Structure 1
Amino acid sequence: MNNFEDLIEKEYSNIAGIAIRKDNYLIYEKYFDEYTQDDALHIASVTKSIISILIGMAIDKGYMKNIEQHVLDFFPDYTVKRGEKTIQNITIANLLSMTAPYKYKSEPYTKVYSSDDWVKAALDLLGGKGSIGVFNYSTVGTHILSGVLTTATGQSVLDFATENLFKPLSIKAPTNTTIQNKEDYFAFLKDKYVTGWIVDPKEVNTAGWGLTLTTRDMAKIGQLYLNGGVWNGRQILSSQWIEDSTKVQSRSGKLTYGYLWWILDDCYAALGDGGNVIFINPQKKMVISIASRFMPRAKDRVELIRKHIIPLFE
């Protein structure tokens, strides 16, 4: 154990916390660099997997019919530019499985996040000459799903998440946080202590990034999936959604993807920049959550989990 913790401090220096659950119990918890169990961190693209959960809940509750609905069904006031046909055929499933085409070669983060309506800015980029069904990972495009949730439920994403996910799991709901410029954005990424959930100028919470959670919170969400959607004896998410969202729905080479979850052989994970992870191993009934400070090109957490964590705790 000492060797393991030394390894973390020497080779994975941006890790703030690790929590491991096995057979429904928290069996290990350790914090580094003066962080504690109460400190939230920006979980980056792990936010996407939380949005997947919320889409599943919205379907369970009848706010949405199914994921084969067309994206534009939820934006009746959106005007499609003349001659554009592809966007009209894109479904919610395409956004969830990263199989929607876009009109850019590299993601125009600044263009979207400096606009006064991020959902509309993302819709303006949707479609183009690419093919529907081809894997095309997009963070800005994922924001459209927050617009879908807001339209479908009549609530903000945060309110819907608080009522249906955070409160049942005894997770302290974040507050809305805004960014005004690049300096705010980089401060949110790099400051040691951050809280909240980023909202756009229309107060729509981000879907591709921007949520802060504690290491324990992340482990609870993993446990909810491992439990088939049951928490404290209550079914809060359908087991069918969990099954669908964590099986292969799209692929790119050796990479396989579900509905905003990465599929890793017999395991699956929510993966975020800097090394934020919710890793679920159904066979061993293990959940491993790792919260990390922002660091470009952080060392591979899946390798750490497979090589060092699972053998130590299985």
Structure 2
Amino acid sequence: MIGSAQNLYFPPTTGSTWETLPPESLNWCPEKIDLLNNFLEDNNTKAFILLKDGKIVLESYFNGHTENAPWQWASAGKTITSFVTGIAQQEGFLSINDPTATYLGEGWTSCTASDELTITIEHQLTMTSGLNDGVSDPTCTSSSCLECIATPGSRWAYHNAPYTLLDPVIETATGSSLNDYTTQKLKTPTGMNGLFVSVQNNKVFFSTARSMARFGLLMLNQGNWNGNQILTDPDYFNQMITASQALNEAYGYLWWLNGTATYMLPGLQSVFNGPLFPLAPDDTYAAMGKDGQFLNVIPSENMVWIRMGEDPGNLPIPFLLNDQIWEYINDLECELSTTDVSQPQLQLTPNPAQERFTVTASKEMVSIEVFTAQHRLVKSQQTSGLDTTLKVTSLPPGLYFVKVYFADGTTRVQKLLVL
């Protein structure tokens, strides 16, 4: 057995029974839950579920959506493909080190035969195939659309076509359709529903929100469903959720990773400093798709949450919505009484700030980081004691997030407005 999270509940694989955990048991305030739900509804959300220890704490449906209605995962469904690729490998049908041409045949790209043979399944899983994502249609899987522009493994680029071609790799290797293999190896053992559906050049997974939550719970328990170790290869599981290459530290095997020093984003070759989600715990990893389809897994909190919905409409990068949801989750706790000192208290003064601001805390601090609203780290300072002053004269006016690390290992984040 790979290992498992502690004290997890698993819903039955049939029926609609799922134990709940009252929000008040976590000291979550009803009015703050209302604020979260209002934010979700205002941003075109269809479904939101938050699990703690496997139990449902929050579950809401908006804009006419229901518990039994399916919705697209978009690119968040890539993580299902990653998972079943690992199962196909553990069953001996393939090795991720195999050339993709072993399963798709010679000429699946427009590269030379020798160059084509250097592209492996692992390159497809890590978005490092070296194929040109700048073609007119990056979802096109015809050989004429697949041009070699870099040595595989030397360039990270979010490219749908090589990912989509993992589907026929799995089908050729296993002798089963992608839907049949996913049903047998993943859906039936966990009680998930859903189906991969052809949408133009892509195969998109559709399911209910609770099925997405089930998959998150399976991942939280390291591929083990209530004692049934579905993914038995610990090396592959760990590779899925750790940096798969040095180019984009925030990308595993089709999973997005928090807590890394740098990250890259789809459609760009730029490298950004700081974690992908400054407001989320560092060990968070996520499945993310177009229009804000999110599955967050947080081992340190024994937590999973999912959001399904339409384009929030007011964000240049829907990824930002994930961090905005975290802002509301982080604020769910009721105000602590003066006798409750289990959580460090934090104050930024003045706020708004012009030249400098002071961070005052109730517990010893060790470092402070300041991030822009676009997740870029702009200031980092080591400290000690209960108060520290930082200059902001070099920062353009705007909204920032101040993340404080405490000596006891906890962190807190607060907004700072710079004038």
TM over 0.5: yes
Partner of 1:146: 167
Partner of 1:189: none
Alignment of 1:192-271 (within 5 A): 197-198=197-198, 206-207=202-203, 210-238=204-232, 239-250=234-245, 252=247, 256-265=250-259, 266-271=283-288
Partner of 1:162: 183
Q: 1:44 to 1:295 in 2, by over 3 A?
A: farther
Q: Do the aligned residues in 2 keep the contact of 1:262 with 1:271 (CA within 8 Å)?
A: yes
Q: Distance in 2 between matches of 1:103 and 1:84?
A: 17
Partner of 2:137: 108
Q: Do the aligned residues in 2 keep the contact of 1:101 with 1:126 (CA within 8 Å)?
A: no
Q: Distance in 2 between matches of 1:143 and 1:230?
A: 26
Q: Which of the two has higher C-alpha Rg?
A: 2
Q: Which runs of 5+ in 1 are unaligned?
A: 113-117, 175-195
In the alignment, which of 307, 310, 323 is matched to residue 303 of structure 1?
323
In the alignment, which of 10, 22, 40 is matched to residue 52 of structure 2?
22
Deviations along 1:50-102, one digit per CA (max 9) or x if unpaired, are: 110110111122211x2111111112364776845322101111110001112
Alignment of 1:131-142 (within 5 A): 131-133=151-153, 134-142=155-163
Deviation at 1:162, TM superposition (A): 0.8
Deviation at 1:22, TM superposition (A): 1.2
Among the aligned pairs, what percent are the same residue? 26
Amino acid in structure 1 at the alignment position of 2:230? I
TM-score, structure 1 as length reference? 0.79
Q: Do the aligned residues in 2 keep the contact of 1:214 with 1:291 (CA within 8 Å)?
A: no
Deviations along 1:228-262, one digit per CA (max 9) or x if unpaired, are: 11112211112432211000013556x62000001
Q: Which runs of 5+ in 2 are unaligned?
A: 1-32, 260-282, 335-419
Deviation at 1:213, TM superposition (A): 1.6
Q: 1:313 to 1:47 in 2, by over 3 A?
A: farther
Q: Do the aligned residues in 2 keep the contact of 1:98 with 1:250 (CA within 8 Å)?
A: no
In the alignment, which of 278, 294, 306 is matched to residue 277 of structure 1?
294
1:34 aligned onto 2:59 = no
Paired residues, number:
274
Alignment of 1:180-191 (within 5 A): none
More helix by share: 1
Classify the secondary structure of the residue corresponding to 2:65.
coil
Deviation at 1:106, TM superposition (A): 3.7
TM-score, structure 2 as length reference? 0.60
Q: Distance in 2 between matches of 1:30 and 1:172?
A: 19
1:76 aligned onto 2:71 = no
Q: 1:29 to 1:105 in 2, by over 3 A?
A: same
Deviation at 1:135, TM superposition (A): 0.5
Q: Do the aligned residues in 1 keep the contact of 2:296 with 2:305 (CA within 8 Å)?
A: yes
1:85 aligned onto 2:114 = yes
Amino acid in structure 1 at the alignment position of 2:38? D
Deviation at 1:5, TM superposition (A): 1.5
Q: Distance in 2 between matches of 1:72 and 1:44?
A: 26
More strand by share: 2
Q: 1:106 to 1:252 in 2, by over 3 A?
A: farther
Q: Distance in 2 between matches of 1:82 and 1:91?
A: 14
Partner of 2:81: 51
- Higher RCO structure, 1 or 2 (CA under 8 Å, sep 6+): 1
Q: Distance in 2 between matches of 1:283 and 1:20?
A: 15
Classify the secondary structure of the residue corresponding to 1:28.
strand
Classify the secondary structure of the residue corresponding to 1:305.
helix
Amino acid in structure 2 at the alignment position of 1:6? N
